[in-house]
Amino acid sequence: MSAREDQSIDFTLDTASELASAEHGPIEGKSPWTLAWRRLRRNYVALASLGVFLLVVVVCCLAPVYAHDVAHTGPNSVHLGETIKIHGKEVPVVSIGYMETIKGVVHFHAGGAPLGPQWGAAGGRYILGGDQLGRDTAVRILYGGLNSLRVGILSAAICIMMAVTLALLAGFYRGSVDWVISRFFDLVWAFPAILLAIALGAALSLNGIHWGPIHVSGGNIWIPTFVIAFVTVPYVGRPLRGQVLSLREKEFVEAARGQGASNVRIMFREILPNIASTVLVLFTLIVAGNILIEAGLSFLGAGVQPPNPSWGNLIADGEDRIQTAPWLAIVPGVAIVITAVSLNIFGDGLRDALDPRAKVRVGR
């Protein structure tokens, strides 16, 4: 039966050539990546999610521009005791309180309350208000996003690099190499990731890392980055190891060996491309997860160290003021949700697009 006679067909790679010859001109071979992109292009929800994530990234990357040109302050700049002009009137950034003794009687005037959200009333400054040190909340949320995204993306990249390398070594060499690497995965996996991250993060952020020539101070952002990368390695390494074990037995590997390819070449030129799609999907999902882990660590004081903002420690700071200034905790929380959800949805869409056994019904 020809394609035209059947009103709905299963579109697979095998039928691509039939369709091409039935439709227009000579057959052009399409790489799996091109076909995957075609599938992804049709998944509007996934693309929209990617758009949302990219928007978050762009907005956070513009934090220095916003801080310099709109808010005119830095994320850690303290403005205690300063005033700003709102509707032509000088208003203290943090309300003035004091105690005074008049005729032996002590009078107390409550102060210390930070400015609330000004939106546009202060010429772009303190749009979301300030904190107890007079720091601009909106600036800190943007910079917090920058730090959270930086930690999330970098830690995912490091995790992927470590996991791929270990998975290739374990799956290809098998034997004692596989045994050692698998036990390492088991050991790290045995600890709940968040608890292990908290323990490592708290210890290393206090003392820093001082191993031989490596000196990283406790407040450095690389500490939570490496900690999160380390604890998530097994979550990527183990599934990849399984794939490598399977691919190792394929004929193309045998053929490459027969042609005299070295083990390293086989691992990185033959096997790695075949797990690339899995790696890509895992990367997007791991980024989302790592952003959440970072938020949790920073909330508990074991991640990004104050005064540097991150969404997690901004939620912790805002927790104290949840009744009087709830936006301080809610805004970074919503930002985390939007970022993580958009990445997860895009990751799901990417997985559907990259899976070679996907079937798309084409109605005629």
Partner 1 sequence: MAVAAVVVLAATAAGYGAVRTTHKTTTTATAQSKSFPLLKLSWEAPDYFDPALSYTVEGWEVLWNVYAGLLGYKHVNGADGGTVIPYLAAKMPTISNGGKLFKFTLRSNLKYSNGQAVKASDFKCTIERDYQMSSPGVGFFSSIQGATAYSKLKAAAMKKGNISGIVTNDSAGTIEIKLTHPEGDMLNILATEFAAFVPCGTPASDQSTHPTPATGPYEIVKYTPHQSFTLEKNPNFDAQIPGIPSGNAQKIVATIYTDNAQAAQSVASNHSDYDFLAIPTDRLGSYEQKYGKRIRIYTPADTFYFFLNQKYAPFNNIKAREAVDYAISRKQMVQLFGGLAVPTENILPPNYKAYKKITAFPVNGDMAKAKQLVAQSGTTGDSVTLWTPSVEPDQSIIEYEQSILNQLGYKTTLKVIDPQIYFSTIENQSTKAQTGYVDWYQDYPNPIDWFDVLFNGERITQTNNNDVGNTNVPSINKQIDKLKTKQPSAAVNAGWAKVDRELVTQDYAAAPYVTRSGTDFFSTRMNMGCYVFNVLYQWDFATACLK
Site of interaction with partner 1 (CB under 8 A) = 76-78, 80-81, 92, 94-99, 101, 104-114, 132-133, 206, 217-219, 301, 305-307, 319-325
Instruction: For partner 1, give the closer residue by CB, 318 or 347.
Output: 318
The distance of closest approach from Cβ of residue 69 to partner 1 in the complex, given in angstroms and rounded to an integer, is 22
Smaller CB distance to partner 1: residue 101 or 176?
Answer: 101
Q: How far is it, in rounded angstroms, from Cα 247 to Cα 255?
A: 13
DSSP 208: -
Nearest residue (CB) to partner 1, 134 versus 332: 134
Residue in the block written with tokens 């950034």: 93
Q: How far is the CB of 298 from partner 1 (least distance, A)?
A: 11
Tell the smallest beta-carbon distance from residue 330 to partner 1 (Å): 15
For the CB of residue 357, give the shortest distance to partner 1 in the complex, in Å.
51
Q: 77 or 243, CB closer to partner 1?
A: 77
Nearer to partner 1, 77 or 274 (CB): 77
Kindly state the greatest CA–CA separation across the chain.
Answer: 105
Task: Tell me the closest approach of the beta carbon of residue 104 to partner 1, in angstroms.
Answer: 7
What's the Cα-to-Cα distance from 71 to each of 137, 141, 225, 313, 350, rounded to whole Å?
10, 12, 29, 21, 38
Asked if 139 and 87 count as a contact pair (C-beta separation under 8 A), the reply is: no
Nearer residue to partner 1 within complex by CB, 58 or 110:
110
Q: How far is the CB of 197 from partner 1 (least distance, A)?
A: 17
Helices assigned H by DSSP within the chain: 13-22, 32-41, 44-61, 63-65, 137-173, 175-190, 193-207, 222-247, 251-258, 263-265, 272-299, 311-319, 327-354
Pull the structure tokens for residue 352: 């559907």
Beta carbon nearer to partner 1, 58 or 102? 102
Answer whether 283's CB lies under 8 Å from 344's CB: no
**Is 167:159 a contact under the CB 8 Å cutoff?**
no
Q: Minimum distance between the CB of residue 306 and partner 1, rounded to whole angstroms?
A: 6
Are 14 and 27 within 8 A, CB to CB?
A: no
